[in-house]
Amino acid sequence: MRYLTRRTLTLAGCIAASLGAGSAMAQQKEILLGAQCDRVGPTQIVATAYCPAMHDYAALINSKGGIGGFRIRIDEIDNNYQVPPAIEAYERHKQMGAVSYLIWGTPQALALKPRLEQDRIPGTSPGFGSAAAADGKKYPYVFPIAATYWSQGAAAIDFAKRRLGGNLKGKKIAYLYFDNPAGLEPLPVIKDIQELEGFELRTFAVPSPGVEMGAQILDISQRYRPDFVIAHLFGRAPSVAIKDLKRAGFPLSKVLGLVWASGEPDIIAAGGFALAEGYNTMQFAGVGTDYPVLNEIRAMYQKEGKPVPPAMETSVYYNRAILNTALHVEAVRIAVQAKGGKAPTGEDVKAAFERIKDFTLGGLLPPLEVTAADHEGGGWVQVFTIKGGKFVADGPWFRAYRDVVQKHLAAAH
């Protein structure tokens, strides 16, 4: 007993010491971006490349002298894809003085919305979160800054239309989705477009955790026999879908995965690029390893004499993190400029986000234009098809059915 108490006390002492030391972190001439990243939870398939990329981009900016004399620091805390730890992490970043926030996860984005507004810190949720947040008037401090699920759903129908010869009348489309709020979100938009275009739509729900969908796949490939499949899946589910569709003999060229069913890890887990030949993926950041900014990061590593990190071998999630971080840094740059070189507040960065345009990093970002009303930046996506073992762009950036999306945005609350 006595032995145990002593040991417990030692442990408590160490923890107390670490708490005290943790507060001596704020340094001068530094701008802090708070980031949540989830390297161990259900979204780790994304995080493996995403999280290191954020730090790589910040290091690149700092190696070039930072922004107006300020170093950019990204502090990362994992949230295990749960809301309470996300709130705790956010409160900590707020206390540390973060002026801008990289959110992780849809429920977390929803839970942080009122806090971001109250604390006047802009937060980004590229490709996830609530689609209604694209409306900057109703969600002043949330920036999807990439196509929301509504825009993705609309663009997916447009892509299907082009693939099916420009007319969807009488065509059959299957919507295979993860049965959670994020998976359901595009449906109202897709149903509205269905009325416009006159195609037939059937939905196939995949229950959580999404690793078992044999029945749905058989239903699609043997019974319904659609002309096109839109797959809106997350985590391990996309790889299972690709594998099962292939096994059922369904042509993958008639399948489009929305943005979280579109990474290299999904393809590799499904059995590799050779198996997934023809599969279409929707992207909100460019795919490929030869964008100028990526070359600069590689050059930075070579100059430091370090090996290029393995995360850079993949480009889907890595590039998305570059997009997200770069937009934050760009907003900080505009804010510092507007303040005449002084450190910006969250409010300044928010205003700066709303002035971002013509910032594409050599095609890695879409031609987005963020305004006070449109926090989505236009809702651009690009489709990359798997051809000959790699992602090949299937045309330029595009968006579609903006009037339908706008109608839903106006009706949202």
Partner 1 sequence: MFYRESGVFKTSYAADTALMPLPNTRIGAALAGVIFLAVLPMVFGEYGMSICNLILIAIVGAIGLNILVGYTDQVSLGHGAFMSVGAYAAANLVVRMDMPFWVAIPAGGVMAAFIGTLVGIPSLRIKGLYLAITTLAAQLIIEWTINHVPAISGGAQSTILMPPPEVFGVVLKFQWQIYFFLMVFVIIAMVGAANLIRSRIGRAFIAIRDQDIAAEIIGINIARYKLYAFAISSFYAGVAGVLYTYYLGIANYEQFQLTVSIDFLAMIIIGGLGSPLGPVFGAIFVTLLPILVRRFLETFGGYFMDYSTLAATIPSLRLAIFGSLIIFFLVVEPEGLNRLWRKVRNYFRTWPFSY
**Minimum CB distance to partner 1, residue 344 (Å):** 21
**Per CB under 8 A, which of residues 19..48 are in contact with partner 1?**
19, 21-22, 37-40
User: What does the block give as tokens for 70?
Assistant: 């300020």
Indicate whether 98 belongs to the interface with partner 1 (CB under 8 A).
no
With contacts defined by CB under 8 A, name the span among 51-59, 229-237, 321-329, 366-374 that binds partner 1. Answer: 51-59
Bridge partner list, 191: none
Question: Do residues 62 and 71 touch, judged by C-beta distance below 8 A?
Answer: yes
User: What does the block give as tokens for 227?
Assistant: 């002309």
Torsional sign, CA 176, 178, 182, 188: positive
Select from 268, 263, 265, 270 the least CA-distant residue to 245: 270
x-or-dash string of contact with partner 1, 118-147, rule CB under 8 A? x-----------xxx---------------
Among 30, 59, 172, 224, binds partner 1 (CB under 8 A): 59
Indicate whether 71 belongs to the interface with partner 1 (CB under 8 A).
no
Indicate whether 310 belongs to the interface with partner 1 (CB under 8 A).
no
Q: Rounded distance, CA 235 to CA 241, Å? A: 11
Q: Rounded distance, CA 258 to CA 384, Å? A: 11
Read off the amino acid at residue 149: Y
Indicate whether 9 belongs to the interface with partner 1 (CB under 8 A).
no
Phi then psi for residue 178, to 5 deg, are -75, 130
Among 13, 181, 341, 395, binds partner 1 (CB under 8 A): 181
Indicate whether 300 belongs to the interface with partner 1 (CB under 8 A).
no
Q: Rounded distance, CA 227 to CA 221, Å? A: 10
With contacts defined by CB under 8 A, name the span among 12-20, 155-163, 255-263, 334-342 that binds partner 1. Answer: 12-20
Q: Which helix (H) or strand (E) holds 276?
A: none
With contacts defined by CB under 8 A, name the span among 185-193, 245-253, 325-333, 347-355 that binds partner 1. Answer: 185-193
**Minimum CB distance to partner 1, residue 402 (Å):** 19
Indicate whether 67 belongs to the interface with partner 1 (CB under 8 A).
no
Indicate whether 78 belongs to the interface with partner 1 (CB under 8 A).
yes
**Per CB under 8 A, which of residues 238..257 are in contact with partner 1?**
none
Q: At what angle do helices 316-338 and 44-63 cross, to 10 degrees?
A: 40
Select from 312, 320, 227 the least CA-distant residue to 282: 320
DSSP structure string for 219-246: IIIIII--SEEEEE--TTHHHHHHHHHH
264 Cβ contact list (under 8 Å, min separation 6):
314, 315, 316, 317
Read off the amino acid at residue 15: I
**Minimum CB distance to partner 1, residue 21 (Å):** 5
Choose between 24 and 290: whose C-beta lies nearer to partner 1: 24
Indicate whether 97 belongs to the interface with partner 1 (CB under 8 A).
no
Indicate whether 410 belongs to the interface with partner 1 (CB under 8 A).
no
Choose between 13 and 396: whose C-beta lies nearer to partner 1: 13
Q: Rounded distance, CA 413 to CA 35, Å? A: 27
Indicate whether 298 belongs to the interface with partner 1 (CB under 8 A).
no
Torsional sign, CA 70, 76, 82, 84: negative
How many amino acids of this chain bind partner 1 (CB under 8 A)?
52
Helix (H, G, I), strand (E, B), or coil: what is residue 306?
coil
Indicate whether 113 belongs to the interface with partner 1 (CB under 8 A).
yes
Phi then psi for residue 177, to 5 deg, are -140, 155
Among 33, 61, 76, 176, binds partner 1 (CB under 8 A): 76
Indicate whether 106 belongs to the interface with partner 1 (CB under 8 A).
yes
**Minimum CB distance to partner 1, residue 110 (Å):** 5
Q: What DSSP character marks residue 252? A: G
**Minimum CB distance to partner 1, residue 301 (Å):** 11
Among 31, 34, 45, 52, binds partner 1 (CB under 8 A): 52
Footprint on this chain of partner 1 (rule: CB under 8 A): 1, 4-5, 14-15, 17-19, 21-22, 37-40, 51-52, 55-56, 59, 76-78, 80, 82-85, 87-88, 91-92, 94-95, 106-107, 110-111, 113-115, 118, 130-132, 179-182, 184-185, 187-188
